[in-house]
Amino acid sequence: MADTELLRTFLAIYRAGSLTEAAYHRGISQPAASQHLAALERTIGTPLFVRGPGGVAPTQRARELYAEVTEPLDALEAVIAGLRGKDPSAPGPPVRFGSSPEYFSAEVLPRIAGSQIPVTAVFGRDHELLALLEHGEIDVAVTSTTPQRRSLRAVLLGSKRFTLVAAPSVAPTRTLRTMRQLADWLPGQPWASYSLELPITRRFWQTVLDRPFSARPHLVVPDLRAVLKAVELGIGVSLLPTFICAESLADGRVAEPFPVSEFIEAEPWFASTRTDEMRRPAVRALLGILGAPPTGSEAPTRSPASGRPRDVR
């Protein structure tokens, strides 16, 4: 069997993270894909993937081989597609995309609805997503921090701002006109949040209200959409990213007791990927519709606050 066929199957497995999906995209059976992989591993003399319940994860040797063969094989596929009269820029395997579920629902789904870009989503926190990206298990990660590995590339997509929200029935009956009045009102309110850590909230209280966080924690639920629903139901007050609560504010389901957005530092959204993945038309197209600048406009190697992991909640 030609080594090129083995390498093409290897590339498909690496990008799909699954023998079944790789076989589908290559137009071969799963046993055939397994045979291709086994033959290549015998030729190289070392395993290329670690099997698990969720698919396969590349070994270090697989990552090295991927870096060696991805460009020439992609060029070969473009030539073959041209000979067959196919569009070489047409998307191939799904882009394995990682972000928070809230970002994916609010920002990604509306933008890919009219596109032909195939996407497989994975959700997690920043450090989890960047680890998956580094290990080749996803292709793109949107996080609030930039990766430290030189093999990973980050571009700035934009930033998120935060808004203080409460149900209309919970909001103060008298308009709050000063930050001091807000600081006096908030401690008596129940608080709904994503986590107990509350890094953004605590920083807001300390730097803007000039006092430690002292609201009554009433609900902790690890989903910003659920936190917003809790606010709408009057369960608690919360500080949420504007992209989560903008529609509810516009519809009057929540109210803004006091405008605080301009007093809170905006947090960035970075899209990170492995450098070689930028050769894939589907990856470039997805980054483009998410608002990434043209190739070559990279983000700093470290995000604000010395690149320490931050949570958007």
Residue linked to tokens 């090295």: 64
Pairing of strands 119-123, 95-99: parallel
Helix extents (H) in 18-83: 19-26, 30-44, 60-83
- List the strands of the sheet with 140-143, edge to edge: 119-123, 95-99, 140-143, 267-274, 152-160
pLDDT of residue 234: 96
Say if CB 303 and CB 144 are below 8 A apart. yes
pLDDT one digit per residue (tens) for the chain, 313 residues: 458 889 989 988 888 788 887 887 788 888 899 999 999 999 999 999 998 877 888 999 998 998 888 888 877 776 766 666 655 555 567 899 999 999 999 999 999 998 888 999 999 999 999 988 887 788 899 999 988 876 688 999 999 999 999 999 999 988 899 999 999 999 999 999 999 888 889 999 999 999 999 998 999 999 999 999 999 999 999 999 999 999 999 999 999 999 999 999 999 999 999 876 777 888 889 999 999 886 544 554 443 333 333 433 3
* pLDDT value of residue 18: 83
The H or E element that residue 47 is part of is none
pLDDT at 307: 38
Question: Is residue 262 classed exposed, middle or buried when 0-12, 13-18 and 19+ CB atoms within 10 A define those classes?
Answer: exposed
Q: Is 286 in a helix, a strand, or coil?
A: helix
Q: Contacts from 17-21 at CB under 8 Å and sequence distance 24+?
A: 17/54, 17/55, 17/56, 17/57, 17/96, 17/137, 18/55, 18/56, 19/55, 19/56, 21/93, 21/94
Q: In this structure, are residues 72 and 8 in contact, taking their beta carbons and an 8 Å threshold?
A: no
Report the predicted TM-score, pTM, of the whole model to 2 decimal places: 0.67
**What phi, psi does 189 have (nearest 5°)?**
-100, 145
Q: If you count them, how many residues does the chain have? A: 313
* Residue whose token pair is 């209200």: 209
Domains of the chain: 3-83 (1.10.10.10), 95-158+267-307 (3.40.190.10), 162-263 (3.40.190.10)
How is residue 174 written in tokens? 């008298």
Tokens of 116: 């032909």
Structure token digits, residue 200:
């953004």
Phi then psi dihedrals of residue 107, to 5 deg: -110, -35
Q: Which one, of 118, 146, 123, 144, lies nearest residue 134 by Cα?
A: 146
What pLDDT is attached to residue 310?
A: 40
Structure tokens at 36: 């291709």
Contact between 279 and 70 under an 8 Å Cβ cutoff? The reply is yes
pLDDT score recorded for residue 71: 80
